[in-house]
Structure 1
Amino acid sequence: MSEEKDTGEEITEELSVEDTEKDDNDEYEKICFMCRRPESKAGKMVELPGKIHICMGCMQKSFDTMQNSNINYNDLMKNMPPNISMIDLSALNNQVPPQQKIKKRKEEKKAPKKEFTMKDVPPPHRIKEQLDEYVIGQEKAKKVMSVAVYNHYKRILSEPGDIEIEKSNMLMIGPTGSGKTYLVQTLAKLLNVPLAITDATSLTEAGYIGDDIESVVSKLLAAADNDVERAEHGIIFIDEIDKIAKKKNTNQRDVSGEAVQQGMLKLLEGSEVEVPVGANSKNAMVPLTTVNTKNILFICGGAFPELPEIVKERLNKKSSIGFQADLKDKYDKDKNILMKATVDDLRNFGMIPEFLGRLPIVFSLESLTEDMLVKILQEPKNAILKQYRRLLELDEVKLVFDNGALHAIAKKALEKDTGARALRAIIEEFMLDIMYEIPKDDNIGEVIITKEYIEHTGGPRILMRGQEIPLLDALG
């Protein structure tokens, strides 16, 4: 009986050890013995005796080293004493201290994959209505984008017929800070499709230092959680497209200009591209997948800083002599001169005809006026003034901007000539003291930002809880 009891205790002990090891493996990540990276970073591990784990990358490096070295391992093993092994694996047990163990992340329950259909794409007027909630002005641009996006998804989601519809890729021209990137971001958010935003300044011809053209597609694949089918219904926005214009008066190879435009032709038209999964560059250790760009919507945008001069030069050729003649300085004060740009002007700027031919929809954005900037401050869903009001509400303080203050901020922004981007910089500057001082006094109930405070000739008005106290220099 005693022997049976001992055996039972031994079995129980063995089970408890196995259970502990199982729980340990479930709770903590495996760590590569060589590069010390966890399983979530290094990928699948090879398990060796003694609880040693080695990632596939380090295993491959070891094989490559053995293969490339001149040592004959067969002769080495023959000459070694029989009782000596090259590596004592048992001595390497418990190689990861408890404080260095990494707990596994809890996996979130993913919702079942929903098929993207035409029912998920609202009609053009609905798209524009939703864009109106976020973007002020730019009526023509919003209308053009709404129709182009609707037609694009009709083309790829409808059944193929006798007539093949071409892609409706877009080229946006607009001054800095006019809302090019924000329009595309809002559009992708409303349609719930993956969006990749890239900068054309980093793109170079294949074989040179910089990003290859295919890296644009790999970013979209990453945005779609490596779902190829979802990525093929996505949107790619290439900003600063004017920076890859053909360089003038140069004898050097144009690896980041005309060459990039030529390399992008097939991508814009539609071709199968091999892209790395989970990385920006191709190498032996990264798996590749094929993405068809035929159904990906490409939107290119740029400020084209020298384009206004090209447009003026073309328009001034029509000027003549006489009482009813057009003056040569007629267009010098035209803020929306880019609205008159044509494809020929873009070609003179340095964009090659084949590239422009694959961007059939070309439109310009308006320059922001003072009234538009005032509306941008307060009307959009995520307006910056709404954000600051919410921040002070958490301190139980009401924030009010009078009409003169709003116009003073807009005037300062126009002077900076950086569009809507200037608004945040200006507001951050004069709100700093308010955000610092207000939490000191619990009796403050309301802060009124005045025109004098914005122009540095006075201060804000402070309303205490129950009475008004003008504090002109309270925060100055």
Structure 2
Amino acid sequence: MANQNANDNDTNVINADNNSSNVNSNRNDDNDAYEKVCYVCRRPESKAGKMITISPDITICNDCMQKAFNQVNSGNFPKMFGIPEGFPFAGMPDDLMNMMGGMNMGMPEKQKIKKKKPDDQVKPIDLKAIPSPHQIHASLNEYVVGQEHAKKVMSVAVYNHYKRVAALHQKKDVEIEKSNMLMIGPTGSGKTYLVKTLAKLLDVPLAIADATSLTEAGYIGDDIESVISKLLAAADNDVEKAQTGIVFIDEIDKLARKRETNHRDVNGESVQQGLLKLLEGAEVEVPVGASSKNAMVPMVTVDTTNILFICGGAFPDLDQVIRERLAKKSSMGFNAELKDHYDNEKNIFRYVETEDLRNFGMIPEFLGRLPIVFTLDALDEKMLTRILSEPKNALLKQYRELLAMDEVDLIFEPDALEAIAAKALKKDTGARALRAIIEDFMLDIMYEIPKDDNIGRVRITRAYVEHTGGPVIELRGQEPLRLANEN
């Protein structure tokens, strides 16, 4: 019996050793996939050369190690690492020494840089696996209502981007250039939502950046290269994967040249000038896992030549610029157009030209690097009604799901949907107004329903939406009961 217990104990020890070795092996495999970064100067191994491993979490390059030796010889070794002179290491308590020894002094996970793969290990993209434009368009139709022209343009552009990336591995004689896009549309028309939906459907890294936070280098705010840092983070710090990704810069109209100003335009025309090199294609150094450059963050070089850029903005007051240009073309005669012909045109952005964008404040060099310009239509009452119920994650479906958790059915009458769309149209903020309106009249319902377990169904009527009546409450196993609106 004692021998049996001893054998079992030996088996457990062996299994524990095997498990420990497997964990260490997996950890080593994970570490092998990333570059080593110098703990002092934060340069990766591809730039600083071979590293000297001091501990599993700390590596130092040869240059910093030589500097450390020089500091030791001169007696300034503690100063190199920021340690005050005369720091009492000898008198430090054992508990504090153990605590410092157990601290994780290695590189944070989000700042680890993946090693560059040899060309023979990079898997080329299968052209047959690339979704065709009509497949991308069909997928967008499940989430986005209307905007057929915009979805068609984006589907073709993304499809060509896939083929362009595939052509890089085939090394064809003809070099295919990228076509960056500029998306113009009124607020709430679905510009950002289109790109976010596209991010769910594609297998390439996609980063969404906001142009309002960008400033000229040296000023408070995000550097221009921060948009590439976000793309690198979306690619899991894989430089090669990020170099074939897509970047969407929202609120690009906020970079328009400021008129009648005497101060330096650090977040307008200056940022447009700085974005030129990114749009055209250049090798830029970007921080890994941070939005700004500093001495404690590793830097990598990213080539933006094969990155597809999509810029979008609402461009307020651009409609007035377009109408002024169209009014100048009006002439006299039987077939001439009146000067007020375009005053009531809701989709005036359809007539936009490069001249209008220059008058708005965008510099010609910037517009020249965005060859594809397309617009989104303003939403009318019919489109807003469809947005409420047709997409996969429509607002009505979201609220039905919320009440379903309380075992209550939620039904919207067709007249109620029309009333919601009419109220949203008056707010002039596009589809964003729909949620605000629904939240307003759903507040009392969401508050009262958890009180009563007998409620089985709630029917939203036009009168309730317009605050002239109440919803229809159906109790479980009873006739419907119409309640007066408390407002």
Q: TM-score, normalised by structure 1?
A: 0.79
CA distance in 2, matches of 1:433, 1:325: 56
Task: Identify the match of residue 457 of structure 1 among 468, 474, 478.
Answer: 468
Change in CA separation of 1:310 and 1:290 when aligned onto 2, cut-off 3 Å: same
1:152 Cα offset (Å): 1.5
**Superposed CA offset, 1:169-222 (max 9, x none):** 100000001000110111121112222111111111111211111011001111
Instruction: Indicate the residue corresponding to 1:422 in structure 2.
Output: 433
Output aligned runs, 1:98-109, within 5 Å. Answer: none
| Offset of residue 462 of structure 1 | 1.0
Partner residue of 2:239? 228
Partner of 1:286: 297
**Range with bigger deviation, 296-305 or 432-441:** 432-441
**TM-aligned CA deviation for residue 369 of structure 1:** 0.6
1:127 maps to 136
Determine which of 138, 145, 150 is the counterpart of 2:147.
138
- The one-letter amino acid of 1:181's match is T
Residue 66 in structure 1 maps to residue 79 in structure 2: yes
Runs of 4+ off more than 6 Å: 53-56, 68-71
Q: Secondary structure at the match of 2:305?
A: helix
Q: Distance in 2 between matches of 1:393 and 1:408?
A: 24
Partners of 2:83 and 2:333 lie apart in 1 by 90
Q: SS at the partner of 1:467?
A: coil
Report matched runs for 1:194-273 at 5 Å: 194-273=205-284
- State whether residues 437 and 475 of structure 1, in contact with CA within 8 Å, keep that contact through their aligned partners in structure 2: no
C-alpha separation in 2, matches of 1:319 and 1:64: 79
Quick check: which has more Rg, 1 or 2? 1
Question: Match for 1:227: what amino acid?
Answer: D
Secondary structure in 2 matching 1:363? strand
Asked if the contact 2:186/2:314 (under 8 Å) is kept, the reply is yes
Structure 2 distance, partners of 1:219, 1:70, is 34
Q: CA deviation at 1:252?
A: 2.7
Q: Distance in 1 between the 2:198 and 2:81 partners?
A: 53
What residue identity is the alignment partner of 1:349? F
Q: Following the alignment from structure 2 to structure 1, what is the Cα–Cα distance between the partners of residues 405 and 81?
A: 65
Which of 162, 166, 172 matches 1:161? 172
Q: 298-307 or 152-161: which moved more?
A: 152-161
User: Unaligned 5+ residue runs, structure 1?
Assistant: 1-14, 27-41, 48-52, 78-83, 102-112
| Structure 2 CA distance for partners of 1:150 and 1:55, relative to 1, 3 Å | closer
Q: Deviations over 1:1-26 (max 9, x none)?
A: xxxxxxxxxxxxxx9xxx9xx9xx99
SS of the residue 1:289 aligns to: strand
Paired residue for 1:90?
Answer: 94
Q: Which amino acid aligns with 1:90?
A: D
Q: CA deviation at 1:161?
A: 2.5
Decide whether aligned partners of structure 1 residues 156 and 93 sit closer, same or farther in structure 2, where only a CA change above 3 A counts: closer
Contact 1:176 1:418 in 2 (8 A): yes
Q: Give the equivalent residue in structure 2 for 1:448.
A: 459
How far is 1:468 from its partner? 2.3
Q: Answer yes or no: is the 8 Å Cα contact 2:468–2:485 preserved in 1.
A: no
Are 1:364 and 2:375 matched, yes or no?
A: yes
Counterparts of 1:418 and 1:282, CA distance in 2: 37
Q: Assess if the C-alpha contact under 8 Å between 2:143 and 2:391 holds in 1.
A: yes
The separation in 1 between residues aligned to 2:266 and 2:235, in whole angstroms, is 30
What secondary structure does 2:137 align onto?
helix
Task: Provide closer, same or farther for how the CA distance between residues 46 and 436 of structure 1 changes in structure 2, counting only shifts above 3 A.
Answer: farther
User: CA contact under 8 A between 2:467 and 2:485: conserved in structure 1?
Assistant: no
**SS in structure 2 opposite 1:134?**
coil
In structure 2, distance between residues paired with 1:313 and 1:64: 70
- TM-score when normalising by structure 2: 0.77
Distance 1:85 1:193 in 2: 51
The runs of 5 or more residues in structure 2 that have no matched partner are 1-12, 25-39, 43-52, 61-67, 69-75, 105-121
Q: Which amino acid aligns with 1:214?
A: E
Partners of 1:194 and 1:221 in 2: CA distance? 8
Aligned-pair RMSD on alpha carbons? 3.5
The letter for the 2-side match of 1:88 is M
The one-letter amino acid of 2:328's match is: K
- SS, match of residue 329 in structure 2: coil
Q: 1:302 aligns with which of 313, 331, 340?
A: 313
One of 102, 127, 138 as aligned partner of 1:118: 127
Following TM superposition, by how much is the alpha carbon of 1:120 offset from its aligned partner in structure 2, in angstroms? 3.9
Q: Is the 8 A contact 2:469 2:485 kept in 1?
A: no
- Counterpart amino acid of residue 310 in structure 1: V
Give yes or no for contact 1:462–1:468 (8 Å, CA) kept in 2: no
Give per-residue Cα distances to partners, 1:31-50, cap 9 Å, x unaligned.
xxxxxxxxxxx99x988xxx
How far residue 70 of structure 1 moved from its aligned partner, in angstroms, is: 13
* Superposition deviation, residue 117 in structure 1: 3.8
Deviation (angstroms), 1:313: 0.5
Distance apart, 1:429 and its partner CA = 1.2
Question: Relative to structure 2, which stretch is displaced further, 223-232 or 333-342?
Answer: 223-232
Specify whether residues 475 and 444 from structure 1 end up closer, same or farther in structure 2 by C-alpha distance, changes over 3 A only: farther
The percentage of aligned residue pairs carrying the same residue is: 66
Number of residue-to-residue matches in the alignment: 413
Residue 420 (structure 2) aligns with: 409
* Paired AA for residue 472 in structure 1: L
8 A contact 1:121–1:191 mirrored in 2: no
